[in-house]
């Protein structure tokens, strides 16, 4: 595969490839699942002759996954899934690999973002790996001629899976895609702990402000929201939750958090973190209630959870007060601070590193076995969204337990028989 013009430019920056290389090596060293799968792939070459097209956050942990697939014989074309989350040094280091072409560049505009998606599609992938669904959607919209030759895909995040399920329900999804997000090994760790830890640390590093004593409003108490709320409470913040689902709201209440509509929470919060996968969760009407100095951050996939256009309309001034913090001044002088342009704060803030390495080891372990399942067994899956087979999720969990030196019990024959029977009662 030829080098990409984007990364030709990136590679020209002195030390870029080396910097990216050391970031990738550090991550890989702490990813026992990806290490173990990579060793298997090197031996078995399951991806020999296949091209994998990817649109993921291009940073060090992702690169460890990409290199593991390349070690298994794949040709890979990759770009970002968010204009602000790419680490250029990692992108350049990936592109330096003979079997990998990276088109990802930090800070591209919308046209540049979609040009890079198109460049990946132009490599005619056999398998797609997405985070948010842009690659699958673009292929269906602009390149339906390629669909017949695509074995399948895998999708990383909640919003991408929602989008694919909507396509599926409309009969518009024409190849199989694994919902990696929905596996226990992904959502119970990446969404909960990863988003919780990474969002809070990115906000703290971007603002240099303390959590203790603050009121933190968490919008959305799903997988990610419960992690954000738990970690904020653990840092001595008072947590307020907003929800639209009565069961999630009750769960938050029983966990001890105050639950309020956003119209009321907006007057109380010092820091607001949206993580709903929905749009217009914070609007100018809410901002109207907010205290001077309120901080708004989004950890949901797209930059539509905070209505920034609406905020710009009611603001009389806007200025970048610190790297990654945009201050909007309201008519009465109150200032509202928005982090990372309302894009997912744990990846798009200038200091962000994304989720902790151990968490992404699990998520990318599932991605790796999903891609392996597609190339070895793809004909078993029809068009549509598929659960990742449970035995693959268990395989990844077992590798992790071995790496952690944790042993667990095994079912006895009598226990197995009991669990499978219906005759035993009181
Ligand atoms: P989820 O479906 O488990 O939770 C979303 C929650 O938001 C639900 O409980 C829903 O009832 C609630 N909600 C929806 N509209 C709302 C509104 N207007 N106000 C208040 N609550 C509302 O989804 P999950 O897994 O928590 O993901 C949420 C978002 O975070 C998605 O966009 C997902 O793609 C993204 N995500 C981000 C990550 C990151 O690195 N920042 C990592 C994983 C997921």
Give domain status of residue 108, yes or no: yes
Nearest residue (by CA) to ligand 1, atom 22, is 220
Average pLDDT rounded to a whole number, residues 86-107? 97
* 155 and 295 within one domain: no
57-87, pLDDT tens digit by residue? 999 999 999 999 999 999 999 999 999 999 9
- Host domain of residue 16: 6-186+357-404
Same domain (yes/no): 29, 168:
yes
Q: What is the mean pLDDT of the chain?
A: 96
| 286 and 212 in a common domain | yes
Q: How does pLDDT run across 305-323, given as a tens digit for each residue?
A: 999 999 999 999 999 999 9
Distance 274 CA to ligand 1 centre (A): 8
Which pLDDT score, from 0 to 100, does residue 353 have? 94
Calculate mean pLDDT across residues 12-40: 95
Domain match, 135 and 152 both: yes
Q: Are 295 and 203 in contact (CB under 8 A)?
A: yes
Total tally of structural domains belonging to the chain: 2
> Which of 328, 348, 368 is the last residue in one of the domains?
348
Cα of 223 vs centre of ligand 1, distance in Å, is: 7
Using 50, 70 and 90 to split pLDDT, how confident is the model at 3? low
Residue with tokens 């999720």: 393
Nearest residue CA, atom 4 of ligand 1? 222
- 198, 346 Cβ separation under 8 angstroms: yes
CA 164 to chain centre: 15
Task: Answer whether residue 218 shows pLDDT above 90.
Answer: yes
Please say which residue of 348, 365, 395 terminates a domain.
348
Neighbouring C-beta atoms of residue 45, cutoff 10 Å: 12
φ/ψ of residue 145, rounded to 5: -60, -20
Rama region for 266: left / alpha / beta (φ>0; ψ in -120 to 50; rest): alpha
Q: Do 343 and 305 reside in the same domain of the chain? A: yes
Element (H, E) at 278: none
Query: From ligand 1's centre to the CA of 276, what distance in Å?
Result: 3
Considering only residues 6 and 338, tell me which one the structure prediction assigns the higher pLDDT. 338
**Residues listed for the chain:** 426
- Give the sheet arrangement for strand 75-79, strand by strand: 100-102, 75-79, 51-55, 127-130, 152-155, 176-179, 384-386
Same domain membership, residue 344 and residue 244? yes
Longest dimension (CA), the chain: 74
pLDDT > 70? residue 176: yes
Question: What is the rounded distance in angstroms from the CA atom of residue 356 to the CA atom of residue 197?
Answer: 8
| Residue 13: per-residue pLDDT | 78
From atom 18 of ligand 1, which residue's Cα is the shortest distance away?
281
Token output for 63: 């690169």
The alpha carbon of 301 and the centre of ligand 1 are apart by a number of angstroms equal to 8
Q: Residues 212, 272: one domain?
A: yes
Residue with tokens 């090994």: 185
pLDDT of 386 above 80:
yes
> Which pLDDT does position 12 carry in this prediction?
67
What band does 5 get if pLDDT is binned at 50, 70 and 90? low
Tell me if 395 is assigned to some domain: yes
User: Torsion over CA of 31, 33, 35 and 38, rounded to 10 degrees?
Assistant: -140
- Which residues approach ligand 1 with their CB closer than 6 A? 157-159, 190-191, 195, 219-225, 242-245, 248, 275-278, 281, 299-301, 344, 346-347
| Statement: residue 1 has pLDDT above 70 | no
Distance (Å) from CA 105 to ligand 1 centroid = 27
* 290 plus 321 within the same structural domain: yes
Strands 315-322 and 325-330, sheet pairing: antiparallel
CA–CA separation, 185 and 372 (whole Å): 17
Counting ligand 1 atoms within 8 A of each CB, the residue from 62, 191, 279, 282 with the most, and so the one to mutate, is 191
pLDDT at 43 over 80: yes
CA of 42 to the centre of ligand 1 (A): 37
* Banded model confidence at residue 4, pLDDT cuts 50, 70, 90: low
Domain membership flag for residue 99:
yes
Taking the CA of residue 198 as reference, the ligand 1 atom at the shortest distance is 40
pLDDT, residue 228, reads 98
Give the model's pLDDT for residue 272.
98
Q: Is residue 425 part of a domain?
A: no
The verdict on residue 419 lying in a domain is no
Ligand 1 centroid – CA 278 distance (Å): 7
Task: Let me know whether 207 and 261 are in one domain.
Answer: yes
Tell me, what's the pLDDT at 376?
97
Q: Write the DSSP string, 32-53.
A: HHHHHHHHHHHHH-TTTT-EEE
Statement: the pTM of the whole predicted model exceeds 0.85: yes
Beta-strand runs (E) in 75-185: 75-79, 100-102, 127-130, 152-155, 176-179
Q: Could you give the CA distance from residue 129 to residue 62 in angstroms, rounded to a whole number?
A: 11
pLDDT band at 14 (very low <50, low <70, confident <90, very high): confident
Query: pLDDT confidence of 8, banded at 50, 70, 90?
Result: low
What's the mean pLDDT in 116-137? 98
* pLDDT of amino acid 186: 97
Residue 342 belongs to some domain of the structure: yes
Closest C-alpha to ligand 1, atom 23: 222
Residues 198 and 326 in one domain: yes
Is residue 215 a part of any domain in this protein?
A: yes
Query: Residue 6: what pLDDT?
Result: 61
Domain contains 423: no
CA-160 nearest atom, ligand 1: 34
pLDDT for 426 equals 80
CA–CA separation, 287 and 410 (whole Å):
54
CATH for 365: 3.40.50.1480
Q: Which atom of ligand 1 is nearest to the CA of 278?
A: 15
Q: Does the pLDDT value for residue 7 go beyond 60? A: no
Same domain? 242 vs 97: no
Treating both helix axes as pointing N-terminal to C-terminal, what angle do 357-377 and 60-71 enclose, rounded to 10 degrees? 30
Residue 56: closest CA among 146, 136, 112, 111? 136
For residue 367, the CA-to-ligand 1 centroid distance in Å is: 21
| Ligand 1 atom at shortest distance from the alpha carbon of 226 | 26
* DSSP three-state, residue 229: helix
Same-domain check for residues 152 and 217: no
- Give the CATH number, domain containing residue 312: 3.40.50.720
Mean pLDDT of 269-286: 98
* Those residues with Cβ within 8 angstroms of residue 405's Cβ, 6 or more apart along the chain or in another chain: none
Instruction: Work out which ligand 1 atom sits closest to the CA atom of 221.
Output: 9
Tell me the pLDDT band of 35, cut-offs 50, 70 and 90.
very high
């Amino acid at each position: 595969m030829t080098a990409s013009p984007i990364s030709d430019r990136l590679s020209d920056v002195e030390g870029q490839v080396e910097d990216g290389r050391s970031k990738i090596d550090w991550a890989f060293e702490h990813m026992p699942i990806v290490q173990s799968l990579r060793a298997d792939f090197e031996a078995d070459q399951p991806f020999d002759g296949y091209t994998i097209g990817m649109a993921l956050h291009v940073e060090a942990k992702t690169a460890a996954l990409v290199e593991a697939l390349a070690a298994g014989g794949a040709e890979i074309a990759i770009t970002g899934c968010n204009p602000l989350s790419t680490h250029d040094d990692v992108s350049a280091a990936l592109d330096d690999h003979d079997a990998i072409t990276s088109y990802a560049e930090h800070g591209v505009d919308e046209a540049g973002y979609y040009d890079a998606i198109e460049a990946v599609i132009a490599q005619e992938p056999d398998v797609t790996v997405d985070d948010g669904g842009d690659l699958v959607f673009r292929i269906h919209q602009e390149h339906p001629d390629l669909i017949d030759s695509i074995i399948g895909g895998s999708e990383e995040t909640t919003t991408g899976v929602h989008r694919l399920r909507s396509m599926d329900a409309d009969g518009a999804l024409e190849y199989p895609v694994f919902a990696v997000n929905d596996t226990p090994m992904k959502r119970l760790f990446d969404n909960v702990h990863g988003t919780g830890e990474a969002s809070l640390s990115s906000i703290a590093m971007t603002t240099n402000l303390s959590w203790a004593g603050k009121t933190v409003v968490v919008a959305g108490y799903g997988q990610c929201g419960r992690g954000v709320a738990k970690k904020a409470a653990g840092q001595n913040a008072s947590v307020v939750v907003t929800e639209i689902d009565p069961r999630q709201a009750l769960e938050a209440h029983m966990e001890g958090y105050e639950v309020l509509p956003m119209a009321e929470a907006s007057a109380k919060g010092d820091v607001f973190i949206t993580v709903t996968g929905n749009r217009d969760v914070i609007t100018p009407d809410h901002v109207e209630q907010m205290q001077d100095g309120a901080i708004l951050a989004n950890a949901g996939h797209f930059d539509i959870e905070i209505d920034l256009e609406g905020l710009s309309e009611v603001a009389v001034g806007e200025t970048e007060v610190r790297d990654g913090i945009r201050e909007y001044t309201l008519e009465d002088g109150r200032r509202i601070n928005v982090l990372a342009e309302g894009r997912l704060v744990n990846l798009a803030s200038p200091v962000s590193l994304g989720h902790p390495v151990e968490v992404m080891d699990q998520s990318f372990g599932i991605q790796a076995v999903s891609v392996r399942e597609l190339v070895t067994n793809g004909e078993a899956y029809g068009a549509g969204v598929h659960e990742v087979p449970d035995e693959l999720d268990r395989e990844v969990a077992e590798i992790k337990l071995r790496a952690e030196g944790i042993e667990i019990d095994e079912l006895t024959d009598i226990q197995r028989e009991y669990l499978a029977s219906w005759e035993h009662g009181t």
